[in-house]
Every structure is written in structure tokens, then in C-alpha cells.
Structure 1
Amino acid sequence: MTDQQGLTMADLGLFTGAPQHDHFCRMQDLLSAREMAPAAQPYVWPEGEAIDLPETYVFDGVPRSSKEFLADTDTAALLVLVDGVVRHESYFLTGGPDVQWLSMSVAKSFVSALVGIAVAEGHIAGIDEPISSYVPVQPGSAYDGVSIKDVLQMSSGARWNEDYSDMSSDVFQLSAATMGIGGTLDDFVARMVRESEPATVCRYNSGETQALGALVARATGRSVAEYMREKLCEPLGMTSAGYWLLDPAGTEFAFGGLNLTARDYARIGELYRRGGKWLGRQIVPAEWVRDSVTVTAPHLKPGRPVVGGHHLGLGYGYQWWIPDGDCGEFTAIGVYNQFVYVDPAARTTIVKLSANRRYGTSSEESTNREVETLAFLRAIARHDH
């Protein structure tokens, strides 16, 4: 474990327009972190003939330059796999093949996989169980009696505002808890407030994933990092060390504190593209993978989930975003434009790691560029390989 307490998340100037590429490449050196060692038998991606990126992509009916988009969004890494083979790999700014980059909410999809594994192993009886059967919460608070499934689907009914341009929003209070301000992350989860009936509204809520991290830790008796090291890092053959950022109590920032290389992030996308199977071994149950990337209720359909008062136009599964369409696409998305995007029809997984400095300076797509990133990644996946 590294222990660097001299810097707080607020010191980074997140969502102020300040450049972040000098920070996201070394978060394990700036904040307390728990290391996950590389796999004993690393799996190195095979490399095929390099493909050219499309020179342009279409967004809002207008052709746009791929090169300019990569620069404008402070891209650090772009990795494209087709049929599990590396076909494009490029790095910019402070990115690099051996650089562990901050996941932001891409971590949520990894935590979801850990929940699925814990269910399969019998640590968790089932996702219809109340999460409060495993995680201590205050009576009558948001997670008291609410099913694990509703938390997985960001549909617990908890009151929440995930507005990155509002310094008083809940997501900023959660960030304060990472530094022990107002209590620990577990304290924050225990006292969250209920607002609506569960399973009626999908309200994107980083607190939900923090609750799922507590679930994994309580149910397995292991830290999130320890459990992930054994259940994902080792069997997937991760080639580099990974890190989870920690609060002062030693609890992982389950909602967004994972740090991996681009090549290791790609493993979760490829694992799910392959139905949870890796080199002939079922790592995550196939049914869990299918349910994770499927819209299963009206309030989860594309356009219905709410993010900080606006809509991305995407649907939601078990901590995965699901674009509209018939290609079976799904994607993990983190603020500042972190993406692990999968297009099964194109047999393609793409990782884009970024530090888009304008992100969160407003709630507008023109600064956040998430829908545009999806258009760009789709253009790559559907480009003639």
C-alpha cells in the first residue's frame, strides 16, 4: 500500500478546466493506494496488422476530424482490439503502454463483475437479497431493505445529484468522504437518504457503486483489491500492477478509484465480449454477463437514466451503459472521457483514456463530449478493417 496524504482530490482542481493529464497518470503516487500485483502468468495480447483510424467521423450530422478530437479531449491512450488482437495502439501526453491511468467510473463495471463472481461463489445469496443484509446502514436510510439488483441498476431510489459542475452536489460530498471529511466512505453509504421508490427511476449515482464495493468486501471478507486481484487480475493475465485508491480507513474508492494500463482495461471489455469466458475458463457467469449488458425494465431504456439532471440517451444494465441500437453494444464510461467500449457485432473492443480538461465545467455535451466519444468509437469499430 502506498500512503501519500499530502494531496486531496480538491487540490487537483477537478471540473474547473485545469489540465489533469499530469495527475491521472500517477494517482497511486499522489493518494493512498492498494496495489494489485500483475498475474503470475501474464497474457500478452497478440498483435495483428495495424489499421488506420477513420480520418473523420460524423456527429450531429457533421463530419469531424478524428485527429482534432483526440487532441481536443486530451486523449492519453487509444487501443483497438479486433477478435482479441491489437490492431491499433497510440499514446499521447502522459499516457504510455506501462502507465496506470485513473479509471473514474470505468471502475464501476469491474465492481459489477466482482459482485457477479461473489454471487456465483455463494458469498452473496442472490441479487434479490437486500444489500442491507450485508452492508451496515442506518434504519430507514437509502439502502435499508433495497435489493442488490436495484443498486446494480442505479435504481435504489436514493436521493442523489451527480452534477460535476455543481460544487455542492452529492458527488462532491462523496469525493470529500474519500479524504475522511465528514466520515469515511462506509459512513457516507450508511446514511444516504431515500427519495423515490426502488426500481422506478434510474438515477446515475456513484454512491450506489460505493455500496456495491462495501457489499463485495463484507460478503467475501476480503478487500475489493484483494478479491479483484484473485478473481480478475490473475485469471485474465494482467501484465502490469493495478492500484485502487483508498480513503483514510483503507476502503477502496469503488466508484472510480481504479488505476490500470490501457491493455489491462481492455480485458474487462474482451471478457464480456466473450460472454465471461477467458481462454476456455468461465471467469464471470455467462448469465451475469448477459444480464449486465441488457436493458431489463422500462426505466432503464435508452434516454431514461438521469445523470446530474440530464440524459445521455443511453440505457443501463449492471453498472454498464447500453447504447440504443441492435448491435449489442455496451460501454463502461468514466468522467473526463474514460471508455471501454465493446461492439460484439464488429468483434471490437476499444479503450480510450483521456483527461478532457473541459469536462464538468458545464453539464453540456459541448464540454463533456460523451455522446460524441461514442460516435467516434462507433466509427472506428465500423471502419473497414
Structure 2
Amino acid sequence: MVNDSVLLPLPIDVVKPDVVLPHAPVAAGGTVSALPYEPVDLLGVSYEWAGRTKTVGDFLNETATDVIEFAHNGRLVAQYFANGWSADVAHQAWSTTKSFVSTLVGIALDQGLISSVEDPIERYIPELAETAWQGVTLRNLLEMRSGVHWDEHTSELSQNTQVLQWVDLALDYFTDGSAGQTRNEFLRSLPRAEPQGVRFNYNSANTQVLAWLVESVYGQPFNQVLSEQLWQPAGMEAGADIMTDRTGAAIASEALFAVPRDFVRFGEFMRTGGSTPDGRRIVSARWVAAATTDMKPAHDAGDHAEGGYGFQWWNGATPDGFQANGFQGQYITVAPSECLTGVRLAHTLQVTTDLDFAGQGKEEWHALYRAVMDRLGGCE
């Protein structure tokens, strides 16, 4: 029991559907991007929250947090673990995976495999012609404005589109296709709810279609594209894995597992405009700016109904900041003007009476992040 939350099990989070569906490896390469560890004691850094003066140590111990890491001016200055996690144990990214998918779209655009984000999706995935996706632009997929029906916020499980997809994927997998649906079959079956571009609706199907797009333009499985176009060029230190359906199609809206420092590396190359510390360009600075600035207001009925949204990135803890968000409070938070990247990973199997942490605890994380920012100072 942690702060009115029940956490089970330790140290690996067994969360449906990840224990029943296959995973595909994301291979690391031979070059590891520098992330020198120069520790600074941040556990005593204090911030105000809900009428209390709290510390980073309090946050780690009271909020179902598994990992906190901070990189400042390109150096890892803090890494703290709880609930059995350690530096070498992979953690689920949940929807922070969406920001990796966005970056792969940007890489494909840089390479000329995609002509424009204004293109309709069926130009790259002909199988989506004559479905609810026909005519939807890549921009509206990236900005969660496709107009295709999806509701992953409702507590009525029989109406929750994400849960229904998980069930179909599992049925298809365990019956070898005799029941249920694959990822692509499920996506093709979704109905239209409204015209594209009208309203923000947080829709994991949009991201899965973008993953299908990436698979299509490269002619490879998503895990291989992620490895060859991002993971290895970015110098990630360890292999990762991602959940797939029976056919190997990645459920890339939610299901990346990686070690914490590689989430830091991802935030760091986005912070520096798309390049690694030794100058290798992963994605263009133009794409980073397009994805993470000039965000549109995001309003829907669920936990994500606040803030601004770009190309699968949320606004961050500072005016120029941006953030990858995931279920139950997974965050990769970047403040370019402060040369600071923070990662918070949280236990995803928890039953809690704390309303803030049921809603992911983003505001308290931001309060902590800004306190750490003040303690460390800005860019060198």
C-alpha cells in the first residue's frame, strides 16, 4: 500500500493486455549516445502542493512512482527508483509511445517517403479507402482530430473502444484468426463520428493508423522501423520491445517497453532539436518545432481534457516546454530554454482513492519539475 494505492505486482507491472499478446524486439545498435552521470542530490528539493510542503523524496515514496530521472545540460543528474524498479528494468511507456510514432512520421517526411502532412491517409494505406478514414489528413491524425469514433475514457467497458480492441486482439491471437480481429481489421471497422478537423478527441486509433503508415512507407514491421530509423541512430543503450497483434502489427499507441535512461535520451534529442550529443541528426529541427510548438487547445471527456496538443505531444511544465504523456502518469517532460529533461514512470496496476493520481498527477509532477528546474538553474 502506497498513499492509498495498492500496487501489484513488484517489480514488473502485469497489466492487461500485455501479458496475453506477443511482443516484438526493438534492437539497439553498437553506438550509445553519451549521457554522463553526474549526480546532484535532488531528493530534498521542495515544492508546494495541496497545502503541504513536499519534497522529491515524498513524491517518490507517496505517489506510486517507480522512476524519476533528470538530465540537465546533457548530463544525467538524478535517477531514483522505487517499487522494485532499477536502471536496467524496462518500464512500459503507455501513451508516451505515441510521441515515438510521431517522430517516426517526421523522419519519413524528412526522407521523402511522405510528401506532406496534408495528404490523405489512403494515399499511403489504400486499404483505408472507402472506410471512415478515407480523406483524413495526416495532420488531423497527428492532432487527434480525425473524426473517427473512439472512446477510451468511458467506465462502461462494453462501450470502451480501447478495451473492445484489446478483447478482439486477444481473441484473434488465441484462436489463430478464427475469432476477434487483427489491429488493421479493427481499425478498418471503426465508424465515423463527425467530420475531420472539427474537434479534438484523444483517440489511440489515430496513432495506430500512423504506425500502419510508417510500416507501409518503409515496407517493414514497426519494431524494425523503430529500431533502424530511431532507436539505433539515437544511440539508445538497450533493446526495447513493443506489443503486437497476431500478425506482428504493432499496437504502437501504448505498448513500448524500455529502460528509463532511453526515455531520457529520447527527450534529450527532442530538446536539442532532433540531434544526438555527437551531432547525428535523427529528425529535422523543422519537424521538432512543428510537433511541439503552436499547440491547439485539447478538450475531451477524459483524463486528457486540458492543455494544448501538437503532433502527438502535449504542452509541458514551462511556456516553451512539451511533454509525452502516458496512462497513470508516465511523463517525458522537456524544457528547452532550461536545458532540462525529466522522466517520471509510474506503476500502472494500482487501485487508488487519490483523485489526483487517478488522473495521472500531472500538475504535481509539473510543480516538482519546476522546483528541480529552479534548483539546477538554466542552460550553461
TM-score by length of 2: 0.87
5+ long unaligned stretches in structure 2: 173-178
Q: CA 1:366–1:269 in structure 2 vs 1: closer, same or farther (change >3 Å)?
A: closer
Structure 1 residue 65 displacement after superposition: 4.3
Q: Could you list the per-position Cα deviations for residues 153-199 of structure 1 after superposition, in whole angstroms to 9, with x for gaps in the alignment?
A: 11111222121644231121232244236301111111222112212
CA contact (8 A) 1:42 1:239 kept: yes
Task: Work out which of the residue numbers 322, 345, 349 in structure 2 matches 1:330.
Answer: 322
66-75 or 243-252: which moved more? 66-75
* Structure 1 residues 351 and 170: CA distance shift in structure 2, 3 A: same
User: How far apart, in 1, do the equivalents of 2:240 and 2:24 lie?
Assistant: 8
Match of 1:78 among 68, 84, 89: 68
In 1, the alpha carbon distance for the partners of 2:133 and 2:205 equals 10
C-alpha contact (below 8 Å) 1:21/1:355 kept by paired residues: no
Question: Which of 349, 353, 368 does residue 376 from structure 1 map onto?
Answer: 368
Q: Which residue of 2 aligns with 1:313?
A: 306
Question: Is the contact between residue 339 and residue 351 of structure 1 (CA under 8 Å) also seen in structure 2?
Answer: yes
1:45-56 aligned at under 5 Å gives the runs 45-56=35-46
Q: Percent identity?
A: 28
* Residue correspondence of structure 1 range 167-316 to structure 2 within 5 A: 167-168=157-158, 169-179=160-170, 180=172, 182-278=180-276, 279-296=278-295, 300-301=296-297, 304-308=298-302, 311-316=304-309
Amino acid at match of 2:140: D
Asked whether the equivalents of residues 43 and 55 of structure 2 are also in contact (C-alpha less than 8 Å), the reply is no
In the alignment, which of 92, 113, 118 is matched to residue 82 of structure 2?
Answer: 92
Structure 1 range deviating more: 277-286 or 174-183 = 174-183
CA contact (8 A) 1:55 1:65 kept: yes
Is the counterpart of residue 19 in structure 1 residue 11 in structure 2?
no
Secondary structure in 1 matching 2:246: coil
| C-alpha distance in 2 between matches for 1:282 and 1:241 | 20
Cα distance in 2 for residues equivalent to 1:324 and 1:196: 32
The one of 129, 136, 141 equivalent to 1:151 is 141
Q: Measure, in 2, the Cα distance between the counterparts of 1:55 and 1:324.
A: 17
Cα RMSD (Å) of the superposition? Answer: 2.6
CA contact (8 A) 1:293 1:320 kept: yes
Cα pair 1:152 1:319 within 8 Å, conserved: yes
Is the deviation greater in 284-293 or in 88-97?
A: 88-97
SS at match of 2:166: helix
> Residues 378, 37 of structure 1: CA spacing in aligned structure 2 closer, same or farther, 3 A cutoff?
same
CA distance in 2, matches of 1:320, 1:147: 18
Contact map agreement 2:317 2:370 (CA 8 A) in 1: no
Unmatched runs of 5 consecutive residues or more in structure 1 = 1-15
Aligned residues: 362
Please say if residues 81 and 87 of structure 1, whose CA atoms lie closer than 8 Å, have aligned partners that are also in contact. Answer: yes
Give the conservation status (yes or no) of the 8 Å contact 2:317–2:333: no
Question: What TM-score results when the alignment is normalised by the length of structure 1?
Answer: 0.86
Contact 2:21 2:243 in 1 (8 A): yes
SS in 2 for 1:48: coil
Contact residue 110 and residue 284 of structure 2 kept, 8 A? yes
Query: How far did residue 125 of structure 1 move?
Result: 1.7
AA aligned opposite 2:372? I
Q: Does structure 1 conserve the Cα–Cα contact (< 8 Å) formed by 2:13 and 2:349?
A: no
- 2: distance between equivalents of 1:69 and 1:93? 13
Q: Which residue of structure 1 aligns with residue 120 of structure 2? A: 130
